[in-house]
Amino acid sequence: MLNQSNPQLIRRHQVELMTGLKRSSIYGRMNPQCKQYDPDFPKPVSLSTGGKGSVAWIASEVNAWIEGRIAASRFSGKR
């Protein structure tokens, strides 16, 4: 779900505000060994050349994940 013409990178604090999740929950959703793991949660992009250090998320991917959670909660209980 990448808008390649103008991708916007957002930092963790913005992801927290958008999703309502805190730091530990965000990283828990990215960790396969955590009970909070969500394989659909967007992966961050490294902002440093060495691969360690600052990261950011692609805003459109975070928005798509949020939309997916809304859809799942709206339609999962209907029969």
By three-state DSSP, how is residue 28 classified? helix
Report pLDDT for 49: 86
Contact 2, 9 (CB under 8 A): no
Residue 17 structure tokens: 């505000």
Report pLDDT for 50: 81
DSSP label of 52: S
| Amino acid identity, position 1 | M
Q: Would you tell me how many other CB atoms lie within 10 Å of the CB of residue 42?
A: 22
Report pLDDT for 4: 64
Query: For residue range 16-74, what is the model confidence (pLDDT) as tens digits?
Result: 999 999 999 999 999 999 999 999 999 999 999 887 889 999 999 999 999 999 999 98
